[in-house]
Amino acid sequence: MEALEADAEGSEPHFLDDDVEAEITKIRAALRSGLMCVSCGFGNDDGSHFCSECGQQLKIGAVG
């Protein structure tokens, strides 16, 4: 039983690391461009006028 638990602990899927890194990159880009929603914190795509998550109007240059 201990061997199975040790195996399970060491077998984290590496694709999760890539997903986390991609999300961090997106958040950093949103912070730099000022497209981070001040209402919900969602990082929106360049050129967005409204938050894709909550619909709040984005204030360009405002970071929450």
Q: Which two tokens stand for residue 27?
A: 């958040």
Cα distance between residue 49 and residue 45, in whole Å: 9
15: tokens are 């694709």
pLDDT digits (tens, 9 = 90+) for 6-60: 555 556 566 678 899 998 898 887 777 778 888 998 888 888 999 999 999 988 6
State what percent of residues in the chain have pLDDT above 90.
Answer: 22
- Taking 70 as the threshold, does the pLDDT of residue 63 lie above it? no
Model's pTM, two decimal places?
0.48
